[in-house]
Chains A and B, each alone.
Chain A
Amino acid sequence: MKLGMVIDLERCIGCRTCTVVCKEHNAQPPGIWWNRVFTPGAGEHQAAVGKDGKLQMNYLPVSCQMCENPPCQKVCPVGATYTDERGVVLVDYERCIGCRYCLAACPYGVRQFNWEDPRKAKAQVGYQDGYTYGYPKDVRAKNGRLVYTQDRPVGVAEKCTFCVEYTSQGQEPACVLSCPEKARIFGDLDDPNSEVSRLVRERQTYRLKEELGTAPKVFYLAPAKEQL
């Protein structure tokens, strides 16, 4: 099994719903976002790019690219970052020592660091009665590693897990389920009959910074309109 995702940039409208549901379901504290949506080339999200009447506005959602050859995993001195049997790159929060090599190594800038205790960060928002959000239970991988917990320890790195708390139970990641534009397709790249396999095979997809040889398992379908 090799889980992957296709993001259709023709369908993406830059609404950042995926950004928000990712934060919510994965209990990210203020300041941490696993999944971001940019307007490439623009000084502000949803500002136009171009001049003299030649304008465009395209969007790029970026989260962990789930590389087959992940630089973050290579540099991890303690083996906290690893690839599971489904091809998902995960962080073991109990093993991470917070050296942040992975943050430096990731060419996509998607790794986030818990500089402060997430419980304190959330408390600063002023939620009522110690409220906390996100998937409430710990998730341990088959090998016993802690790959999801609602409040990560201070000083560990974190990132998109393809919603390990849901996908390990056969459900889809929150961003895929919640995208109002249905721009995200998730599935097994090893299964030739899956929608992701079909799209990668039949449509012209590209991957981010392919030249680095990281071999991401997140593929993009380019917007249909002519690019400036």
Chain B
Amino acid sequence: MIAEVENGQIRAITQASDYPEQEYNPRGCLKGLSYINLIYGPDRLKKPLIRTGAPGKGEFREVSWNEALDYAATKLKEIAAKYGPESIGFIFQVGGTGYVQKGAFVALSTLAGWNIHHPYDMNGDLPTFYPMTFGVQSEEAEPLEWLNSRYIAVFGSNIMVTRLPDAHFLVEARNKGAKLVVFDPNFSATAAKADEFVPVKASSDAAVGLGIARVIIEEKLYDDAFLTTYTDMPLLIREDNHKRLKAEDVQGLSKPADVPAYREAYVAYNGQFLAVHPEKFDLPENVILEGEVEVTLKDGNKIMAKPSFQLLKESLNNYTPDKVETMSGVPKDTLVRLAREMAAAKPLHVVYGASNYQWYHGDLKGRAIALIPVLTGNIGQSGGGISTYAGQYKIRMNLAKWWVPQGKAQKWLPWLYVLHGPTKTMKAKYPANGLKALITGWGNPFDQHNMANKLREMKEKGELEFVMTMDIQMTTSGKYSDVVLPVCSWYEKTELTATPVHPYLQLQQPAIKPIGEAHSELWIARELAKRLNPEFENHYFPSLDENTAAEKVIEMLLAGGGPNVAGITLDQLKKGPVRFKSAAPGNRQIPFYEQIHFKKPFPPLSLPAKIEQTGQFLKSGRIEFYKDEDAFLEAGESLPVHKPPFEESEYALNPATREKYEFAYITRNSLYRVHSNHSNNVWMNELQDGKPRVWLNPEDAKAKGIRQGDYVEVYNDRGKVHGYAILDPGNGRNCVVFEQGWWSRYLNGESFNSLTYPFIKPTNEVYFVPGIWVPNTAWNECLCDVRKVGDKQ
């Protein structure tokens, strides 16, 4: 972005349009371009504040930085001494948008022994099927690659609203001849641009994916060489205990000596039993995918075993076109036709949107839908694969030197446990005394992460003894905080950023002086560090001013950042964005290119995790559809299946909801906000008449006596929210859609997240790697009802 500055103030913002590939220019949408309303708006914080009134009331006194920092440091030291430092939690929101400033506080949390809440799962953006199936956090084809697709199947992703700068690639791909099909309960803006819109019942996508997979398998349209080489499909599963058969248990076989501890050698059969090396894709083509074999174990026992593919094929008998029509509402002939089309068109790219996986069974849906590009051999190909496009989570370089001082162990606490409480099956460590203090920045958790009103109650009841917020503006979270610190906006500090979608490293440089007394987070971290423990300060270049220190950090990160940033310099970044390196031609971002083309084992690294951490997800070194960990077996989910929504969540929590609440409460992203950001942007609010909207199908509205513009209440036993009814014939039946992100001051003090609930699914607790294999927030797994409370205004 370019800020046009006159007399020290930004008069207008324009996209810089300096990506070397013209196709990416211009990047930036109505929100970023109207950011001046936040920089200079009435909610901008100019001085440090200490709360004087009740939490949430917004009563503060202005204090000096010294007083604010001394107060915060004293409280944090007291709480750490009383309850342990792990009872202090730090929320930093999406690492990709701030390696330097966010890293400063991750480092301080590490030094001080605080818990860190990873934003990816907190936000519900983690596609849990991805670590299960491909062993990675997530992977995404860059939008330029969409132009190479012949077929794009979108399952519940609204790219035309949530990926505005990339949306044109979808239109262009279609104009180049790719077929664009959108599966969604709602006729979204993306559905409107599609060749074909396929309405589905809410959260029934697994049935659709499995139905398509069944047609592909029954009609032998799958790529058996791909399945044999790269997937777990040929690996034998024991019928006695439903576990994968290990080579070391089979008579005459042994585990190769060079198999790492986090891997396992399994078994395939081609007339002989073969020990399958987890780091070599060298199985002969004639291994069986179907059938059943008798195996003699080392102890002499004989058992029966079947390849995963055989079991999948059997399991897919539950997903005949007739049955899928009942489960999903997709007509059987349509399903069969689409399956044949998808199998015939290469490359095929599947987009599985976050709104679709922010459900209790989001993992199952992803595993089911992933079958389509895998069965057809579309992984690792230009224009092919499966992508998610949610969140700015991705760490693209080695940040350890800045984020993890002295290699100290970090403590991570998944956010859902804070709201839900600990579970018996959790692998993460819950603090002995619970969460007593919260440090937040770059976000507004008291609106955005307040499921069932829990977070606000924790503060109101005094359970949370101290909250410190760093922000450019006074948000709802600020009002609930004991100390509020004014920070520099993006245009007032130095920062290094990278998004997962398009593979560029970018520098943000100050265009104006900080407003009021604002400082960068690096400076705040340094000042706080000094007060907590004088030794901590050394990590933060204490002799340098904050922007020079930030540049030093960037130079340090570039020097030790690893192969993705090899050779990139600060000077280069000052001139414009620089493309990351990759193994694919032209440094293109094509997920799993190395695995498929250079036969490297799955998974590739998901930074900052080590391969020992993520390698254990796929012990076979292959794409896995059969999961044999106990939690999967107990849930009946060793293979992907369709489970309808609410059965294991809402109905299990309270059986009465089955009769009481018939509407799904969907909190989608708004065109006018980035989550909670821009909720107070005066122009964005003018464009929507300043009104929170509740989207309903006209038939449902009619049954409820609701007309366009009526003031309605959406409610369940946990909470409520009000808004103005929009009757949209494209809205799915039995869905109430509310656009999330409104600050509660626009909702009469209510929270749209007072209705939602922090469900935790046991399969998401099988391993614990922060932000990668962890319970994910299921915003949309929520039932409600709606009623009219007032006439049109």
Contacts and interface: CB of A to CB of B under 8 A. Distances in A.
B573 interface: no
Given A24-B13, A177-B14, A47 B726 contact: yes
Interface residues of B, number: 53
A20 B30 CA distance: 6
Given A47-B728, A178-B28, A20 B34 contact: yes
Interface stretch (A73-81, A100-108, A125-133, A140-148): A125-133
Nearest to A47: B728
A15 B29 contact: yes
Contact of A134 (B11, B15, B29, B46): B11
A24 B686 CA distance: 14
B33 A21 contact: yes
B167 A180 contact: yes
A182 B168 contact: yes
Contacts of B581: none
Interface of A: 10-11, 13-17, 19-21, 23-25, 30-31, 33, 42-51, 53, 55-58, 125-129, 131-136, 174, 177-182, 224-225
A128 B168 contact: no
B682 A30 contact: yes
Closest 3 CB pairs of A and B: A48-B730, A126-B42, A57-B192
29 contacts: A10-B175, A11-B168, A14-B160, A15-B671, A16-B30, A17-B28, A19-B687, A20-B683, A21-B30, A21-B33, A23-B683, A24-B36, A24-B683, A33-B686, A44-B726, A47-B729, A48-B187, A48-B730, A55-B187, A55-B192, A57-B187, A128-B42, A128-B515, A133-B10, A174-B14, A177-B17, A180-B28, A180-B164, A181-B167
A208 to B, nearest CB: 21
Interface string B10-28: 1111110100000000111
B726 A125 contact: no
Given A13-B164, A126-B41, A174-B14, A49 B26 contact: no
Given A19-B30, A178-B26, A55 B197 contact: yes
Nearest to A14: B189
B693 interface: yes
Contacts of B165: 180
Contact of B26 (A46, A136, A180): A180
Contacts of B33: 17, 20-21, 24, 178
Contacts of A129: 40
Given A21-B33, A177-B14, 13 more contacts: A13-B167, A30-B682, A43-B726, A47-B727, A51-B729, A53-B199, A58-B192, A125-B42, A128-B40, A133-B12, A134-B11, A177-B26, A181-B171
B508 interface: no
Given A24-B13, A24-B33, A125-B41, A55 B171 contact: no
B91 to A, nearest CB: 27
Nearest to B193: A13
B6 interface: yes
B30 A15 contact: yes
Given A57-B730, A133-B11, A46 B161 contact: yes
B479 interface: no
Nearest to B34: A20
A120 to B, nearest CB: 15
B619 interface: no
A50 B682 contact: no
B44 to A, nearest CB: 6
A135 B728 contact: no
A13 B729 contact: no
A23 B730 CA distance: 31
A212 B473 CA distance: 50
B410 interface: no
B14 A13 contact: no
B27 A180 contact: yes
Nearest to B27: A180
B497 interface: no
B547 interface: no
A58 B728 CA distance: 14
B791 to A, nearest CB: 16
B9 interface: yes
A15 B730 contact: no
A50 B175 CA distance: 24
